[in-house]
Amino acid sequence: MEEKIKYEMEFPIQASPSLLYQYISTPSGLSEWYADNVNSRGEFFTFIWEGSEEKAKLVSKKSDERIKFKWLDDEDTPYFFELRIQVDDITKDVSLMITDFAEDDEVDEGKMLWDNMVSDLKQILGSA
């Protein structure tokens, strides 16, 4: 199996950390911008896109700060995706930091996908 490459992205978002956290950590919040539908049962989340389903395990979370998932089909690998809220100490500007992994030839596609999804999130939040 080919090694995946870790990449990180930063998106400035005009919203409070607690509101943003609702959109990155709850099934109802995630289904508004990340997937068509999201269900959770305990620490297991099911993400549904146009009929395809992916299951992920909630690895860690910290209220109003971050949430980290690991795809179940990738459980034996070090790969994960993390959504982290960063607040600038001085300006109080809020950013959504995304860490994800993709195969070498899919990094640009992955970044474009995140761009589009975060653009939807910003519209929902009135931050666009």
Q: What is the structure's pLDDT at 59?
A: 95
Beta carbons within 8 Å of 64's beta carbon, 6+ residues apart: 17, 18, 21, 85
pLDDT digits (tens, 9 = 90+) for 92-128: 999 999 999 999 999 999 999 999 999 999 999 997 6
Helix (H, G, I), strand (E, B) or coil at 26: coil
Domain range enclosing 24 = 4-125
94 C-beta neighbours (distance < 10 Å), count: 19
Helix (H, G, I), strand (E, B) or coil at 101: strand
Domain containing residue 43: CATH number: 3.30.530.20
How far apart are the C-alpha atoms of 14 and 125, rounded to whole Å?
Answer: 8
Share above pLDDT 70 across residues of the chain, in percent, rounded to a whole number: 97
29 C-beta neighbours (distance < 10 Å), count: 18
Q: What is the structure's pLDDT at 32?
A: 96
Helix (H, G, I), strand (E, B) or coil at 68: strand
If one counts the domains in the chain, the total is 1
Tell me the mean pLDDT per 10 residues along the chain, length 128.
90 96 97 96 95 94 96 83 97 97 95 96 90
